[in-house]
């Protein structure tokens, strides 16, 4: 009898975004006219076209694939050296950060990487997540059996939830207890918060003291505007011994449908056997990737490489400026509507307190019905997100302006 | 203290192909002249250019991505409907096989899918693999803890090895004991064998009797030439209740560097909880993919779709004919060299008995040194592969002819 992984049965009905899609479809089917003016600010998906540099690079690579002399079959599972070298030079070396090309693993997404990294970790770790939290961190821990059944508030025993509140600026306090794995995401999804150098330094010190590992998700780093906000966990002394960093081309180069990302696993990073023996996680992750992955499509890797060319950098900057322009409009619109607003300054997400103590799914339904705008209910990011909702700045300028206008007209 | 997954420490030094690459590099570094005439018939990687239809489709899709009106962000995690519909219509419905588009999950590789499918299976299954075996099936079971430590012969306790020998035509006997998961791969990598309808029927009956699941890897199905060989496990009555099928565009469309594949999980397929409750694996796999995967790059899915167009089908047929022409040349060359040869008729792999009882890594080194040809040692596929080696037909015609010539000149 083929047994299934019963941990999957602990998962709640749907991953957040499919659930939003379901409610939106239901609304649109019942309200075909309102559906015409629907604006989606829910899922954090880019809307602007792929940078010209990337299109050109992919075209060139496809032409290579069409000729025998330049055709490429299986590539290196870790990613082509041309891309890993460009990443190391531009994202790290140019900022004086010590990350080498062979510490970079190219993949098809940060969601995949953050999920898959659990493959090389053991089952006895105490796992800490921020609350609110990007649901993938939680769900993938449920799937591998790192939790019990969800309790009444939707939290899973076995996870340590680190409260991120308006009071702590959505950067959690260092826990009193020892944890082994800590997920940190800055700029944060969903709150749009960033962590200061001092805050990250405290986390790195904590992790080193406990031989813990920080899984640092920096997928939104391109949106940081304040010069003193760290762009990489490796700007912090000692982080090479305790941190993995996830980065993506989804949100800077608009690659959400094109698919390319990377993960940094420093050679100084160890995991431990139960008997206390240190083992290189770089080696284990390399083994994982060569056994369970076949590398990213060659033309797509050329597209990602092009984002580091002079024209590519300019085009990325234009994209980021566009979305951050939207963010400013949305922040101002929400404030003008009398709402209490966070984020939107170093991140493409605006995090808004629900008015009158309304529940966040209630606000979701109300904004969908009244304003025909799709937002993301904070509760979708866990208990700590209740009482908030997220507006994404990924949109056309016209839509951002229209959403700001409609927010002001909402009746609560 | 961050614990690692100690199962990884049970894995032997390297996955087969990196080990081959290491030996080849060592040889080439030491013999720069011989390196000039090196011909690779080791890893089963295509050599001919990407079909024109696919190049054109990808170009078109990249152009769409470059325009705001036609840009696409996140796609459905399960794959675009246009591709799933084309697959269902051409690979299944046209042959009278009942597989619907929503039972198809598009991915970036069959290696990934066969590895990842363990995510939704429990830890108490008795797993059977063919011997010799594609190493990924074994290594990924080691990684998730389904085995003990390797024994002296390199086999892992906890796995049931099904001997595939010249005597049984490399199709294993149905085991006397009950197993829960069975990996079958036809046309077979590495032996090139195919299973008859009667043999597959016996496996399906066995699986249904034991409520077991067959993980059916049909990555090489495009190479089947005999009309009576089943192309899909779902040609067998009852297979929808007991089988998952993995297929790939790597070997028909030459997508090894372009990356696209798919997995069929029928809605009739259940896994079981320990208390015996049946649960849809289609639902679990869908949850797995939407949580841990973000879909295949849109332009690449358009490329895959194009392989089902009339011109795409012709171009795929030309590719397959080319490689099977190589296979015939290699089979004849090896036979003329006095070797005992299997496969190469319905598969792009030729499986050859080592002469004089030589070990297969010994033969690997000898052929590398004497003939400057890279083959794959049978032992790399497990104990049952010892005494054999594999030659891949993925090459240019000139190289296939040259390898056939060099085989005849080998001194044993």
Is B74-297 in CATH node 3.40.50.620? no
Nearest to B257 among A59, A259, A298 (CB): A298
| Residue % of chain B over a pLDDT of 90 | 95
Torsion of CA A58, A306, A304, B60, to 10 degrees: -20
- Range A308-339 burial, b when 16+ CB lie within 10 A, else e: bbeebbebbeebbebbbebbebbbebbbebeb
Delimiting residues of CATH 3.40.640.10 domain(s) in chain A? 55-310
C-beta separation of B105 from B263 below 8 A: yes
Could you state, in chain order, the average pLDDT of each consecutive group of 10 residues for chain A (412 residues)? 97 77 93 95 93 98 98 96 98 97 98 98 97 96 97 91 97 95 98 98 98 98 97 98 98 98 98 98 96 97 98 98 98 97 98 96 96 96 95 97 96 84
Nearest CA in chain A to B241: A2
Question: Is residue B44 less than 8 Å (CB to CB) from chain A?
Answer: no
Distance CA B325, CA B346 (A): 12
Q: Is the confidence at residue B15, as pLDDT, over 80?
A: no
Beta-carbon separation of A52 and B66 below 8 A: yes
* pLDDT score of A94: 97
How far CA A274 is from CA of A123, A142, B140, in Å, comes to 10, 22, 21
Residues of chain B contacting A50 with CB distance shorter than 8 Å: 62, 65-66, 71
Handedness of CA A62, A66, A71, A72 (dihedral sign): positive
* pLDDT score of B21: 87
Residues of chain B contacting A139 with CB distance shorter than 8 Å: 291
* pLDDT score of B16: 76
- Please state, as a whole number, how many other Cβ atoms lie within 10 Å of the Cβ of residue B412: 12
Distance CA B106, CA B124 (A): 28
- Give Cβ neighbours of residue A163 (< 8 Å, ≥ 6 apart): A131, A172, A173, A384
Beta-carbon separation of A49 and B59 below 8 A: no
Distance CA B160, CA B384 (A): 13
C-beta separation of B74 from A257 below 8 A: yes
Question: Is residue A8 less than 8 Å (CB to CB) from chain B?
Answer: yes
* pLDDT score of A287: 94
Distance CA B265, CA B268 (A): 8
Delimiting residues of CATH 3.90.1150.10 domain(s) in chain B? 12-49+311-409
Distance CA B336, CA B331 (A): 9
pLDDT digits (tens, 9 = 90+) for B248-261: 999 999 999 999 99
Beta-carbon separation of A140 and B291 below 8 A: yes
- Please state, as a whole number, how many other Cβ atoms lie within 10 Å of the Cβ of residue B406: 18
- The token pair at A276 is 């206390």
Which residues of B, range 197-226, sit inside 8 Å of A by Cβ? 210-213
* pLDDT score of A12: 82
Beta-carbon separation of B8 and A120 below 8 A: yes
pLDDT digits (tens, 9 = 90+) for B43-94: 889 999 999 999 999 999 999 999 999 999 999 999 999 999 999 999 999 9
Which residues of B, range 292-311, sit inside 8 Å of A by Cβ? 292-300
Delimiting residues of CATH 3.40.640.10 domain(s) in chain B? 74-297
Top CATH class, A55-310? alpha beta
Distance CA A144, CA A139 (A): 9
Beta-carbon separation of A73 and B123 below 8 A: no
Delimiting residues of CATH 3.90.1150.10 domain(s) in chain A? 11-49+313-409
* pLDDT score of B192: 98
Beta-carbon separation of B258 and A63 below 8 A: no
Nearest to A294 among B1, B6, B259 (CB): B259
3 state SS of A35: helix
Distance CA A214, CA B86 (A): 43
* pLDDT score of B13: 65
* pLDDT score of A16: 75
- Mean pLDDT computed over B20-29: 93
Residues of chain A contacting B67 with CB distance shorter than 8 Å: 49
* pLDDT score of B12: 82
B398's enclosing H/E stretch is: helix B397-409
3 state SS of B372: coil
Q: Strands (DSSP E) along B170-319, which ranges? A: 181-185, 213-217, 243-248, 261-264, 270-272, 278-280
- Give Cβ neighbours of residue A363 (< 8 Å, ≥ 6 apart): A354, A355, A375, A377, A389
Nearest to B62 among A55, A123, A396 (CB): A55
Nearest CA in chain B to A297: B258
**ipTM (interface pTM):** 0.96
Q: Strands (DSSP E) along B243-303, which ranges? A: 243-248, 261-264, 270-272, 278-280
- Stated pTM of the model: 0.97
Segments in B129-190 forming alpha helices (H)? 135-143
Nearest to A271 among B3, B48, B68 (CB): B3
- The token pair at B154 is 């390199």
How far CA A190 is from CA of A38, A41, A348, in Å, comes to 22, 13, 9
- Please state, as a whole number, how many other Cβ atoms lie within 10 Å of the Cβ of residue B273: 15
- Give Cβ neighbours of residue B64 (< 8 Å, ≥ 6 apart): B70, B71, B72, B298
User: What is the fold, at CATH topology level, of the domain defined by B12-49+311-409?
Assistant: 3.90.1150
- Mean pLDDT computed over B215-240: 98
Tell me the shortest Cα–Cα distance from A115 to chain B, in angstroms: 6
Q: Is the confidence at residue B193, as pLDDT, over 70?
A: yes
CATH architecture of A11-49+313-409: Alpha-Beta Complex (3.90)
C-beta separation of B251 from B190 below 8 A: no
């Amino acid at each position: 009898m083929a047994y299934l992984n019963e941990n999957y049965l602990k998962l709640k009905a749907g991953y957040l975004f499919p659930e939003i899609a379901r409610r939106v479809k239901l609304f649109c089917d019942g309200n075909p006219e309102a559906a015409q003016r629907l604006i989606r600010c829910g899922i954090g998906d880019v809307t602007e076209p792929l940078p010209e540099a990337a299109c050109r690079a992919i075209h060139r690579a496809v032409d290579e694939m069409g000729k025998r002399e330049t055709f490429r079959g299986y590539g290196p599972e870790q990613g082509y050296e041309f891309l890993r070298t460009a990443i190391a030079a531009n994202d790290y070396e140019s900022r004086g950060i010590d990350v080498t090309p062979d510490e970079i693993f190219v993949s098809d997404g940060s969601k995949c990487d953050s999920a898959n990294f659990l493959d090389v970790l053991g089952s006895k770790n105490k796992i800490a997540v921020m609350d609110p939290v990007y649901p993938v961190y939680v769900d993938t821990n449920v799937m591998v059996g790192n939790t019990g059944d969800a309790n009444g508030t939707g939290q899973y025993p076995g996870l340590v939830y680190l409260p991120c509140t308006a009071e702590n600026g959505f950067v959690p306090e260092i826990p009193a207890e020892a944890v082994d794995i800590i997920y940190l995401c800055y700029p944060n999804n969903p709150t749009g918060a960033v962590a200061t150098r001092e805050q990250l330094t405290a986390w790195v010190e904590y992790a080193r003291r406990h031989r813990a590992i920080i899984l640092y998700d920096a997928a939104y780093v391109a949106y940081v505007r304040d010069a003193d906000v760290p762009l990489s966990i490796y700007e912090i002394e000692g982080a090479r011994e305790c941190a993995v960093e996830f980065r993506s081309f989804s949100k800077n180069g608009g690659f959400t449908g094109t698919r390319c990302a990377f993960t940094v696993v420093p050679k100084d990073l160890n995991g431990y056997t139960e008997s206390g023996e240190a083992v290189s996680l770089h080696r284990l992750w390399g083994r994982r990737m060569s056994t369970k992955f076949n590398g990213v499509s060659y033309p797509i890797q050329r597209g990602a490489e092009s984002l580091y060319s002079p024209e590519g950098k300019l085009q990325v900057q234009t994209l980021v400026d566009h979305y951050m322009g939207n963010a400013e409009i949305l922040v101002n619109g929400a404030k003008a509507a009398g709402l209490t607003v966070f984020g939107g300054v170093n991140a493409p997400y605006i995090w808004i307190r629900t008015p009158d103590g309304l529940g966040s799914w209630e606000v979701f339904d109300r904004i969908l019905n009244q304003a025909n705008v799709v937002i993301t209910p904070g509760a979708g990011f866990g208990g700590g997100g209740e009482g908030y909702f997220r507006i994404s700045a990924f949109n056309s300028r016209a839509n951002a302006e229209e959403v700001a206008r409609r927010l002001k007209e909402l009746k609560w």
